Chains A and B, each alone.
Chain A
Amino acid sequence: MRSLYISIYSEFYKSKKTLAFWASILLPLIICSLITFGFYSSSEKILNLHQPPMILWLRYIGAALGVMGILILPFYVIFMAFSVNNIEHKNDTWKSLFAQPLNKFSIYAAKYIFAIILIFLSLFLFCSLTFAFGHLLQLLVPKFNFNQYDPSMILIKFYVKLFLSSLGILSIQFILSLLWGDFLKPMGIGFVGTIMGIIAGNVGWKYAYLIPYSHPSLVLSGSKAAANPLNFPIFTPEIYSSLIYASILFILGYFIVMKKSIK
């Protein structure tokens, strides 16, 4: 346990000066700011629609979720899986990492967990910044009715679901980036996978839930299709599928690490 903790802490120490780490903070900050600015600058138009507070919130939340969920989240996850492994490939440090008196499982699991932490951090920031910036909009434009509805439950549910749906992609990409030191192979496969996933998710293919890359877009299209937008279930087939992929590939990755000769 101690060996896992120090490995995770070292991952944090190593990457605190890297783009990957800052991207997980800057990405939600930039996207949420842009959307908020959009709402602020076109507040007249939005106010003219006279939407009830819940619909206004859904519109506002949906703006971030729409961009984030379908396109940015898969690519962000691909990038994170790449970065945590690339830091060792690039510096040729696998050999010194595995020559430390730490068990190999800790070293491997720490990297995986660190990638999950970065994704969680980013989605957590998306969730809380959406909430905070919505209330900021209310302060700036008092005619909005953001204060008449509490969106926290729906926000949390959406982002928890998105988070869970991203774990399948993460696990595939994690193994690819572990095996290959270059950028193009995992990125290329991830890109093709994501495009396929989006198409499969959007055309409503029956077995789309079996493709990890389509999980985030299924989460979004699924909740839109739900009769009541507030009452969608978290554990749907795509989420189970994502979690199963994640667990199996996590174990598989460990065997790869155990077998891997550090050349």
Chain B
Amino acid sequence: MSTFAIETVGLNFNFGQQAILNNLALQVPKGSIYGFLGPNGAGKTTTIKILLNLLKSPSDQVFIFGKEINNNRIAILKRVGALVEQPAIYGHLTGKENLVNRCLLLGIKRSKADEMLAIVGLTEAANKKSNQYSLGMKQRLGIALALVSDPELLLLDEPTNGLDPNGIIEIRNLMIELTTKHHKTILVSSHLLAEIERTATHVGIINKGELLFQGTIQELQLLNKPLLEIDVNDIDGASMLLTENGYEIATKTDAKIWIPFVSQTESGIINTLLIQNGFTVTSLSLQRKDLENLFLDITKTN
């Protein structure tokens, strides 16, 4: 049995001449919350549509629960719930009717509809026409629709889109509860790392159809190397001296130099070195990039 809920092997996908996904190798471990990150247009939604077999993938490139998707479409879809882009809701039906319709299609008891409405906090709006729902309410209904079949794998495409801060926290808690208590696997896409980093156990960063990073959230944080910021009077002279002494200059501006931070003692040695060579050091400080900047850096270099 595969330990991955989702595995893609060298997945390529084109819309006509335009390449959308390039050699994508996703590995989503069972029981994880996999944050699928990338700027708009990176290929996140296309990937999710491929995982649902809405877009046809080449054979033997996409495996869900270890099964090839094109040959096991129905068996796989039985175990998957999804929210793709804007929630797909019949506007002329009420929230409850939308869920009942889904129950009909899935052969589930209608009473499940009420249960789901309670989970996403729409009980009071159950009998309101869903085209009168706010964006946040539609998003909740979309999540309820994805959850109604009690799927083992949830694919959520930007689920917190349009939600207020409270709603975002609720969805976050719901995702954590689903994985810890009910052992579900969740792939959640977003273009905001800050939104993912509190819930995700694993992260995949995609840009222009290529996977730039994949690993646990801790591995991502390890990439985030701290820097020593040095304010010194003669930037060019100081850089030359540091390079001669075997230090690597990470980056520099007209007023500052950054080099990788090693330890406090090492920082002291650098300070002494600069001063002994006649430079005036006005400040030395430790800088750590937040993950958001790291994410921007990763996607920028692509």
Which of A10, A93, A99, A262 makes the CB contact (< 8 A) with B104? A10
Q: Which residues of A contact B104 (CB under 8 A)?
A: 6, 9-10, 13
Residues of B within 8 A of A262 (CB): 49, 54-55
Q: Which of A90, A94, A96 contacts B91 (CB 8 A)?
A: A90
Render A91-104 as a binary contact track against B, CB cut-off 8 A, 1 for contact: 11111111111110
Which residue on B lies nearest to A15, using beta carbons? Answer: B92
> In this complex, what residue of A is CB-closest to B52?
A99
Determine if B90 and A87 form an interchain contact, defined as CB atoms under 8 angstroms apart.
yes
Minimal beta-carbon separation of A173 from chain B (angstroms): 22
The 25 sampled A-B contact pairs (Cβ below 8 Å) are A9-B104, A10-B104, A14-B90, A91-B89, A91-B91, A92-B88, A94-B88, A95-B52, A95-B85, A98-B52, A98-B54, A99-B54, A99-B77, A99-B84, A101-B74, A101-B75, A101-B77, A101-B78, A101-B106, A103-B74, A261-B54, A261-B55, A262-B49, A262-B55, A263-B55
Determine whether the beta carbon of A6 is less than 8 Å from that of B107.
yes
List, in ascending order, chain B residues with CB within 8 A of A100's CB: 77, 102, 105-106
Asked whether B93 is an interface residue with its Cβ less than 8 Å from the other chain, the reply is yes
Tell yes or no: A18 within 8 A of B by CB: yes
A13 to B105, CA, bound (A): 11
Give the residue among B80, B88, B101 with the most A Cβ atoms within 10 A. B88
Say if the beta carbon of A85 comes within 8 Å of chain B.
Answer: no
Cβ-closest chain A residue relative to B131: A91
Task: Give chain B nearest CB distance to A261 CB in angstroms.
Answer: 5
Chain A interface size range: 20 to 34
Proximity string of chain B (202-220) to chain A, C-beta cutoff 8 Å, 1 when within and 0 when not: 0000000000000000000
B145 touches which of A7, A87, A96, A261 (Cβ 8 Å): A96
Contact B84 A96 (CB under 8 A): yes
Q: Do A91 and B107 touch (CB < 8 A)?
A: no
Sample of 4 further A-B pairs with CB below 8 A, known A13-B97, A101-B106, A262-B54 = A10-B104, A14-B93, A91-B91, A95-B88
**Distance in angstroms between the alpha carbons of A263 and B86 in the assembled complex:** 12
- Report Cα–Cα, A211/B166, bound state, in Å: 60
Chain A residues with CB under 8 Å of B78's CB are 101
- The answer to the question of B82 belonging to the interface, with a C-beta cut-off of 8 Å to chain A, is yes
A45 within 8 A of B: no
Taking a contact as CB atoms closer than 8 A, the residue among B80, B93, B105 that contacts A7 in the complex is B105
Chain A residues with CB below 8 A from B88, complex form: 91-97
Instruction: Tell me, yes or no, whether A206 is within 8 Å of chain B by CB.
Output: no
CA distance A10 to B101 in the complex (A): 6
The A interface is mostly helix, strand or loop, or mixed, namely helix
In the assembled complex, B182 has its CB within 8 A of some CB on chain A:
no
Q: Which of A215-263 contact B (CB under 8 A)?
A: 261-263
Neighbour of B89 across the interface among A17, A93, A99, A263, CB < 8 A: A93
Within 8 A of B (CB), among A1-34: 2, 6-7, 9-10, 13-14, 17-18
What 0/1 readout, one digit per residue, does chain A (59-97) give for beta carbons within 8 Å of chain B? 000000000000000000000000000010011111111
Closest-by-CB residue of A relative to B142 is A96
A179 to B302, CA, bound (A): 37
Known: A102-B74, A103-B74. A6 touches B90 (CB 8 A): no
Flag if B74 contacts A95 (CB, 8 Å). Answer: no
Q: In the complex, how many angstroms separate the beta carbon of B120 from the nearest chain A beta carbon?
A: 16
Chain A nearest CB from B215 CB (Å) reads 28
Taking CB as reference atom, which chain A residue is nearest B104?
A10
- Residues of B54-112 contacting chain A, CB below 8 A: 54-56, 74-75, 77-78, 80, 82, 84-86, 88-93, 97, 100-102, 104-107
Residues of A with C-beta under 8 A to B102: 100
Cβ–Cβ < 8 Å partners of B54 in chain A: 95, 98-99, 261-262
Give CA–CA (A191, B166) in the complex, Å. Answer: 51
Q: Please, how many angstroms separate the alpha-carbon atoms of A87 and B92 in the complex?
A: 9
